[in-house]
Amino acid sequence: MEENTQLLPYLFAKFPSRGRNKVKALLTRGQIVVGGKVVTRHDHPLKPGDEVQILSTGAIEHRQITAGMKIVYEDDAIIVIDKPPGLLSIATDDEKERTAYHLLTDHVKQRNHRDRVFIVHRLDRDTSGLMLFAKSPEVKNQMQERWEEAVVEREYVALVQGSVKADAGTIDTWLKESKTMTMYVCRAGDGVHAVTHYRVLERGAGLSLLEVRLETGRKNQIRVHMQSIGHSVVGDKRYGARANPLGRLGLHARLLSFEHPVSGKTLRFETAIPRSFRAALKPADE
């Protein structure tokens, strides 16, 4: 486009042969993506250089499935969810059905009983936030094989014990898994390399709220790295936490940006910091 306009007039001009109601339905069904984000507002402003993508099927924005789990984005190839704490990513010997995988499988089978979903990456049971699923084994394999290249941004927020002195820092160690399946810091070269960057967002009530960016994606990386600097994630008894002001693990996958496996476009999703995280920073008498 060559001049500023709004989304609906732009779509009318782009699809002159379609009825106005059918064009509006593209927005209602979440089939319009501007700058990597699904847009449903008719008056969304467009400026020269904005890229508008039309999805073949509707994306679903913030559709709650059950147990607090929401679909943030869906198209023919992928699903992005906002997983609540306490929900497993995939089945274990003790829990088969109350999992993100099982809930999403039921969701896609409502349209076609042959449809399936495939986990691209996992979140711990007690970690909340953004998680990516594929709709075919080909897309799953492609995303997993290119994960380090495909992921543009991946950030968490962590509520940790104590007042972290440095406003920002990097934790660069090697990690290894014990016989009890607990990760620990080991000597260089004797395990897997792990790098975590953090920045303090707020401090208060003997706690710190951190923005955490992963340079590598190792099992329990944030949890063991926070323990290694003396600031365990709250609610994380396995990795040294004494406090549990949230009644859950203080870890939330807030931001996920990646290259779409089919279109190649960069998609970016961000969720709000859980209110309970900020509330825990305030003195009890406030």
124 assigned to active site: yes
Q: Which residues partner with 225 through β-bridges?
A: none
Q: What is the Cα–Cα distance from 111 to 89, expressed in whole angstroms?
A: 22
The domain made up of 1-58 has a fold known as 3.10.290
Where along the chain do its domains lie? 1-58, 60-145, 149-286
192 contacts 168 by C-beta, under 8 angstroms: no
HSE at residue 244, side-chain half, CA atoms within 13 A, is 12
CA distance 81 to 100: 9
CATH of domain 60-145: 3.30.2350.10
Alpha-carbon distance of 15 to 283, in angstroms, equals 57
Q: Give whole-number Cα distances, 147 to 4, 36, 62, 215, 260, in Å.
A: 36, 18, 25, 12, 11
Tens-digit pLDDT string for the chain (286 aa): 567 888 888 888 888 888 888 888 777 666 787 876 667 778 888 988 888 887 755 544 445 555 578 888 988 899 999 999 988 888 665 554 578 998 888 888 877 788 899 999 989 889 999 999 999 999 999 999 999 899 999 999 999 999 999 999 999 999 999 999 999 999 999 999 999 999 999 999 999 999 999 998 899 999 999 999 999 999 999 999 998 999 999 999 999 999 999 989 899 999 999 999 999 998 766 5
Domains 1-58 and 60-145 belong to one CATH topology: no
- The conformational region for residue 112 under phi > 0 = left, psi -120 to 50 = alpha, else beta, is beta
Q: Which residues contact 50 (CB under 8 A, 6 or more apart)?
A: 1, 34, 35
Selected catalytic residue, list 75, 82, 124, 126? 124
Q: Backbone phi, then psi, for 30, in 5-degree steps?
A: 75, 35
Which CATH superfamily does the domain covering 149-286 fall into? Pseudouridine synthase (3.30.2350.10)
184 CA to centre of own chain: 25
